[in-house]
Structure 1
Amino acid sequence: MMDALARIISETIEPNALAVDRDGTFPHAAIEALGRAGLLGLISAKGAGGMGEGLRAAAWAVERVGEACGSTGMVLCMHYCAAAVIEQHGPWATRQEIAAGRHLSTLAFSEVGSRSHFWAPVSTAKLVDGSDSIRLDADKSWATSAGQVDSYVWSSRSLASPTKSTLWLVPGKAPGLTYPAPFDGLGLRGNSSSPIQARNVLVPRTAMLGPDGGGFDIMMGNVLPHFQVLSSSCFLGIMDAATKKAAAHVAKTRLSHLSQSLADLATIRAYLARMRLKTDMVRGLLRDTLDAMEEGREDTQLRVLEVKAGAAEMATEVTELAMRVCGGAAFRKEAGLERHFRDARAASVMSPTTDLLYDFIGKAAAGMPLFE
């Protein structure tokens, strides 16, 4: 797995990263290469034809891909988040397609009506009279890989109660899905994070993932831990890339009139040290979060909440320091640093936002219920 991923990164992802960002194009070549290598089925069960790996392996893969291209890293992150739900609740045929690398999925949770409160959908699911079909109507505000995937793990209000939620497996080409505005963002420009409108989208009742009204439990118990860990891994990769590139730049850039490199300046070395320290702090928190989850520790929920908040804050700081350390050279597109700087800004506003996470962390630390 490691050798295959390294080859894909060096041959496909890294060479295309500049164009993916510059043109805002979806990284089709990278996703196809990951699929051919079986890496889209990394967490799929071996019985379905997948690699049978867990969240730790997925985190490593997303980190490595994110280091090379933040957009591709986020697409892979969201695929694994959706695949984790499908693996637990989805149809066998779809699980096999994911395992074989022929099926890309993503989450479609965030909505115009509830914004970053992704756990509280306002979109509807209604049983069509005289049939076994379900009509879905929604205004999704953002979905990574919108218009590019084979399926969405889709949230709506439940059939039985407007206060509960239900998840559905919605085909990517389902009639009634439209994309009102193409993504033209500041960072992660190739991840196709566009709004989705659903008008009279019909799916069979068997498309339900888990029980009706059980969406919240799946979101909190399955999706949130995967998203927190994997998105943090992507931004850790971005931080690592910025730190390495900044160090390489100051080591080779010379002040000829002083016969020294930028790295000979104590101030520059101190900035590099801060970048390295902050990056390694996030790596330590990420690994401890995975340890807590695997060991069933009492502080698992707290670590899951903390890891993305920590990664978001540190990614912003580290990439800003990289821009300062490298000066005017960092503004050149080909250097890649300003791309990492822009990509890192997405971490704090992706739901759950850093401000929401701080509130949740404070509640958890005080022994208060998170959603009351």
Structure 2
Amino acid sequence: MHTVVSDVIADVVAPSAAQVDRAGEFPRAAIEALAKAGLLGLTSSVEVGGGGQGLRAAAEVITELATACGSTAMITLMHYSATAALEAHGPAEVRQDIAAGRYLAMLAFSEAGSRSHFWAPLSTAEADGGEIRLDARKSFVTAAGEADGYVWSSRPLSGDGPMTLWLVPRDAAGLTVSGSYDGLGLRANASSPMAAEGVRVPADAMLGTDGDGLDIALATVLPTFLVLNAACSLGVIEALAAKAHEHLAKTNLAHLGQRLADQLPARSSYARIRTRADQTRAFLNDTLAALESGREDAMLRVLQVKAVAAEAAVEIGDEVMRLCGGSALRRDLGIERHFRDALAARVMAPTTEALHDFVGRVSFGLPLLDGGAS
């Protein structure tokens, strides 16, 4: 698998990364190459023709992708997160299409009214003549208008619980991309608002049962999303660390007859970067090990890992920018692109602040979310 990912990165992802970032252009060629290589179906079950791989393999793919293009990594991790819900509750034909690389799936949780509080949708779902009518204003949907289908949250029809999940196809009448994305980082991930105005889906588009959407999100989607977000931050960290190492090794102080790497302050700065990167990788690996073994602290690690990696990425990015000086501002070197991408994870729902609250709640035996949801 490593060779397959490396080939896709070398042939397609890396050569186009700077251009799609600069233009804010969806990396279609990269996603198509991932699909052709079987990587979009990596986590689909073998029963539907997929790779049957687990979260560790997905994390390895995301980390490698993020070393080259954060946007491509983010799109892929969102696809894996949506696939987790569809593998558990989606229709067989969609699962088969995902496994074959014919279907790109995304999450559509964040909303204009509740922002990063994904557990409190304001979207409505109403039974209407044997169909379901959906109305919503989603605030950020990765690959908006580009994906084939969206795992969509709404208030329940009538069931208990705060939300219900649906599979909404991209060509549903009334579904629109209602704005553009011109972001600081992850500029090519097409994270745009979407609106549903009288979108009608069949009743069997419901994923799971009415009102159980939050339970599905917490048990199935959230672990995948948080772990793979950490993997994405780790990939960005490794890209920044590699750039710093190259700069120190190759930049000469001619008047002293030394490289920057021969200077103690520069070496110490790089040592901090390398150590923090290795700490982040170790925490991610421990989280995966906890999940794989069913360790008692597995959920605590899952709630911690995105915050740990996101904050490390920002701090390392800042250190690399200062260490490399004016060279870091040059777009052709790629340092500033990775630094901008590093900033995204800490404000992506659940934000670092929300995750710290979750960790505190779990630590003190409190309900995970306000309102008693657990």
TM-score computed with the length of structure 1 as normaliser: 0.98
- Report matched runs for 1:98-117 at 5 Å: 98-117=98-117
3-state SS in 1 of match to 2:343: helix
Q: How does 1:189-268 map to 2 (within 5 A)?
A: 189-268=187-266
| 1:289 counterpart residue number | 287
Secondary structure of the structure 1 residue equivalent to 2:40: helix
Question: Partner of 1:14 in structure 2?
Answer: 14
The AA in structure 1 aligned to 2:113 is: G
1:139 is paired with a residue of what secondary structure? strand
The residue number in structure 1 matching 2:345 is 347
Deviation digits for residues 297-329 of structure 1, max 9, x if unmatched? 111111011000101110000111111111111
CA distance in 2, matches of 1:280, 1:203: 47
Partner residue in 2 for 1:302:
300
Contact 2:164 2:211 in 1 (8 A): yes
Match in the other structure for 1:135: 133
Q: Deviations over 1:250-299 (max 9, x none)?
A: 10000101100111111111111111111111111111111111111111
Tell me how far 1:58 sits from its aligned partner: 0.4
CA distance in 2, matches of 1:224, 1:363: 17
Report 1:1-372 matches (<5 A): 1-128=1-128, 131-161=129-159, 163-372=161-370
- For residue 162 of structure 1, report the CA deviation from its aligned partner: 7.7
- Secondary structure of residue in 2 paired with 1:203: strand
The TM-score with structure 2 as length reference comes to 0.98
**1:164 to partner: Cα distance:** 2.2
Ranges of 4+ aligned residues in structure 1 off by more than 6 Å: none
Contact 2:177 2:194 in 1 (8 A): yes
**In 2, Cα distance between the equivalents of 1:238 and 1:212?**
38
Letter paired with 2:38: G
Given that 2:161 and 2:212 are in contact with CA atoms closer than 8 Å, whether structure 1 keeps it comes out as no
CA displacement, residues 16-49 of structure 1 (integer Å, 9 cap, x when unaligned): 0000110000010000000011110000011101
The 1-side partners of 2:33 and 2:161 are apart by 42
Q: After superposition, what is the alpha-carbon deviation per residue over 1:79-117, rounded to whole angstroms, capped at 9, x for unaligned?
A: 000011111100000000000001001100000111111
CA displacement at 1:369 relative to structure 2 = 1.8
Unaligned runs of 5+ in 1: none
Distance in 1, matches of 2:365 and 2:267, equals 42
Answer with 163-172 or 193-202: which moved more.
Answer: 163-172
Over the aligned positions, Cα root-mean-square deviation in angstroms equals 0.9
Q: Distance in 2 between matches of 1:320 and 1:162?
A: 46
**How far does residue 163 in structure 1 lie from its aligned partner after superposition?**
5.0
- Any stretches of 5+ residues in structure 2 without a counterpart? none
**Equivalent residue of 2:237, what SS?**
helix
The number of residues matched between the two structures is 370
